[in-house]
Amino acid sequence: MFAEPRHFRDERDLDGMRSLLRAGRRSKNGTYYVHTGDINWWLYYPSFGVNLFEHLYVWDDPSKPGRLLAWVLLGYDSYSTFDVVIQPELRGTPLALEMVNWAEQRMTGILRSLGKDTIRVMWIFEDDTVMDEILRQRGFQPYAADVHMVRSLDEPIQVSGTPDGWTVRACGGLEEVEARAAAQHGAFGSSAPMDQYVGRFRHFMQSGVYNPEWDMVTAREDGKIGAFCITWPDPLNRVGLFEPVGTHPDFQRKGLGKAVMLESLRSLRENGMRQAIVSTAEDNEPGIKLYEAAGFRIVNRLMAYKKNIAN
């Protein structure tokens, strides 16, 4: 008999979620498993007013205490997505299908109660025929895509200078939270009030997942931050994720974004990583050109699917 999942409890569950992601990436079974840095970023830097921990569910492995069979994240923000992450050996099994069905039904009920008519699923490899068939059978259709880009850290990393007055370094953390938040606020064109945005970033910096050494910035002598990127190392798979990456519009076309990425690549390599990854919307031409200039290449597409649930 199918058992429903339980609510997320504590840090031990989060460790189990990360372990599942690492195992999935290591398996290379055709499913795209998000990087552990992705869930750190999602959970600790969520949309305003959203607590994603309240919408996390897990299935325990009855045969191995402490191990998770799967976890589900129901996203109530503007994207209206649900994520089902399953142990690699369960790919395409009847149990996996039941888990996806549970998540879809639960999310559909929530969205209808909120008056929303579209449900979405993201992060599906374009060549993942197993998930494509599962989603299409449920009425989902692909509608958008990101490019998934990879760079080997065994290859030489070029030296890139910065304009006079600019320095590439690790972020100073809380002592420069306002400058760091302002750079990201501008880079992403946020409409949120600056004091609210700074508060959000301060909360993220105070979380257990933030490490200023992995938050690389280009800083000017007057304290302004022009470009930034956070990298997230996975020591088991030796893969580092870039998320987020941005340059304030006042300081674009100066080579600051490339400089900060190259310095982050060197840091990842020095800390044992063998590969770096980054993803962006396939129509983000400036972003793709920046990543290619830093040595990344497109290796796949990550599809987003949607379904109308109005009826």
CATH code, domain carrying 265 = 3.40.630.30
The total of structural domains in the chain comes to 2
Does 1 reside within a domain?
no
Same domain, 173 and 111: no
Does 14 reside within a domain?
yes
Same domain, 60 and 116: yes
Does 42 reside within a domain?
yes
pLDDT of 295 above 80:
yes
The distance from CA 13 to its chain's CA centroid, rounded to whole angstroms, is: 19
| For residues 146-154, average pLDDT | 98
Does 256 reside within a domain?
yes
pLDDT of 76 above 90:
no
Percent helix, percent strand, percent coil in the chain, to nearest 5: 40, 30, 35
User: How many degrees, rounded to 5, is the angle at CA 233 between CA 74 and CA 273?
Assistant: 140
pLDDT in tens, 82-134: 999 999 999 999 999 999 999 999 999 999 999 999 999 999 999 999 999 99
Q: What is the pTM of this model?
A: 0.96
Q: What is the pLDDT of residue 63?
A: 94
Average pLDDT, the chain: 96
Same domain, 111 and 194: no
pLDDT in tens, 257-291: 999 999 999 999 999 999 999 999 999 999 999 99
pLDDT of 78 above 80:
no
The answer to whether residues 274 and 255 touch, using CB atoms and an 8 Å cutoff, is no
| For residues 68-76, average pLDDT | 94
Confidence of residue 79 (pLDDT cuts 50, 70, 90): confident
pLDDT in tens, 224-262: 999 999 999 999 999 999 999 999 999 999 999 999 999
Confidence of residue 2 (pLDDT cuts 50, 70, 90): confident
Which of 169, 174, 257, 261 minimizes the C-alpha distance to 219? 169
Does 255 reside within a domain?
yes
Does 168 reside within a domain?
yes
Does 100 reside within a domain?
yes
The answer to whether residues 70 and 86 touch, using CB atoms and an 8 Å cutoff, is yes
Same domain, 105 and 237: no
Q: What is the pLDDT of residue 121?
A: 97
170: containing domain: 156-294
What share of the chain in percent tops pLDDT 90?
Answer: 93
What share of the chain in percent tops pLDDT 70?
Answer: 99
pLDDT in tens, 42-64: 999 998 888 999 999 999 999 99
Q: What is the pLDDT of residue 9?
A: 97
Does 215 reside within a domain?
yes
Same domain, 161 and 131: no
